[in-house]
Structure 1
């Protein structure tokens, strides 16, 4: 989505999520006035046949002409870069649905943006969820971190991070995300250069020392009241011990002390991800937007 601050937008174009930055193209009319914006992502770590784009059109130019030109441009841009699958995410509103239909894009998934209001959070609920999860996960311990991972945890975190691939993809034609130590370090570099503080809580099996799951929240330093839930995942062989609830509740207790200015955290989930949504709703997350994900072969 095309939201945020000018500085945040510039950082996205410089660094992206993990040093795989997006590109932006500005549409102007004959007078040189900006009328539209196209933001394009060409994945390089995986799914290298894909292009994903967002677009925004000035309210005075929403007769479809500018949007059509931007879509034609991104489709040709994809072809020129050897990409065959074009993806687009639009708000669940009639105009965006009509635009996707008009240009031959097929809906494949629904993503939901939920926002947690920490000012209205009942901390007794958080503490109760944490205590119940601790009782169910006595074979595990928690490691809390701020900033980069220690070198001795890096290899173990590759598989844990890749566990996110088990989250629902609905009908999206996408490959699993591919992680490596280099990519994890690139993520940390991009977040640091974007002036985001990374907070992690990691679950570790006591008997073996194996890393079992993690949750990550990044807090903006430009707007320290805003946090972003970047990931929560539990390795398949460690599920069934309430580690997801343990990690999420422990993170909130950590942030209460570490980030006193923090008032909201945004998270994104597939609408079909019932398990994670169930935990989020216990923690005062409310829906603020639905995004329909579309794809088209070119």
Structure 2
């Protein structure tokens, strides 16, 4: 195996800074790897869209690494650690351009990240990796690797599967990426919204906004963001609670003002209590020929069973077509064991486009 120099790359303040070139080039690597993995450029982001997440050094500190070949960045690595006093988890990303794989570059980046995680006294390392060619089911060709959840499977012979298992990672969960073609028929969409509203009942009403959360809902949104980290299916990953406060929400929204994308949010209010109990978000790029990304959708556990998930989804799709028309599709991710949300998506017309494994390695 050839030895490679794994460099730590600078995180610029803006993509226009003199020191932004390496960061911009690392996003090119990210997009190429995502496109190769899913067979579509729908998951590509611009550097300006990626950067705001890297600037939250208080709540999600990250380090960026790269490997150059002949002066060109051909691999990107990311290390992110939890910040709670008792945090013992870290997240990693290792990406190598397809034409540079098989040279030991990915191993060099992974070695560097694992070394940092151990020095940080992290107990476990989590990674999410797309498995190209996976159909997510047990009937694909060749031997399959099934997670403990029993939902979905990956081709055991895939290079990324063999790479991770050889390094001591174990598969904990499979996530399905799905695509919904747009536009939806307006008459049918209005009917879906009406039917979901009737099914949810008079105790719930939907509110919507773009980007900045209205002042009266900030506390509730921060509470729901925290619950997203604990209520969403996470199998054996043991994802830690990610605590949001109103102050953190405001800071995040201020940072995201530099993001060219818009965030469309719908939220369900429980009328008897006057509290928000569910929300759904769409991340919308400024160019109408690019795909929209479905961000979080959550209904608090104590308010499930009222078709609020369907109501929130269709209400936001209606808002998208009214306020940001022209986009070709919506892309969403769901855990394979999250059968309720998958059924909602399938009812709306989402179809699978790929699968990724959620992997865990215990370090201590």
Same fold by TM (over 0.5)? yes
2:240 counterpart of 1:155: no
SS in 1 for 2:292: strand
User: Quick one: structure 1 residues 223 and 252, their matched pair in 2 at CA, closer, same or farther if it must change by over 3 Å?
Assistant: closer
Higher relative contact order (CA 8 A, sep 6+): 1
CA RMSD of aligned residues (A): 2.6
2:257 to 182, 185, 192: 192
Name the structure 2 match of 1:178. 243
Name the structure 1 match of 2:319. 254
2:208 counterpart of 1:144: yes
CA contact (8 A) 2:263 2:282 kept: yes
CA separation in 2, counterparts of 1:193 and 1:58? Answer: 28
TM-score, L = length of structure 2? 0.74
Within 5 Å, which residues of 2 pair with 1:69-148?
69-93=108-132, 94-119=158-183, 121-136=184-199, 137-148=201-212
Name the structure 1 match of 2:66. 26
User: Quick one: structure 1 residues 254 and 295, their matched pair in 2 at CA, closer, same or farther if it must change by over 3 Å?
Assistant: same
CA contact (8 A) 2:126 2:237 kept: no
Within 5 Å, which residues of 2 pair with 1:206-225?
206-221=271-286, 225=290
TM-score, L = length of structure 1? 0.88
CA separation in 2, counterparts of 1:193 and 1:44? Answer: 24
1:282 deviates by: 1.4
Number of residues of Structure 1 aligned to a counterpart in Structure 2: 296
User: Quick one: structure 1 residues 47 and 58, their matched pair in 2 at CA, closer, same or farther if it must change by over 3 Å?
Assistant: farther
1:26 deviates by: 1.0
1:98 deviates by: 0.8
Within 5 Å, which residues of 2 pair with 1:44-63?
44=83, 48-63=87-102
CA separation in 1, counterparts of 2:242 and 2:182? Answer: 31
User: Quick one: structure 1 residues 201 and 34, their matched pair in 2 at CA, closer, same or farther if it must change by over 3 Å?
Assistant: closer
SS in 2 for 1:175: coil
1:107 deviates by: 0.9
Where does structure 2 lack aligned partners over 5 or more consecutive residues? 1-28, 32-43, 133-157
SS in 2 for 1:186: helix
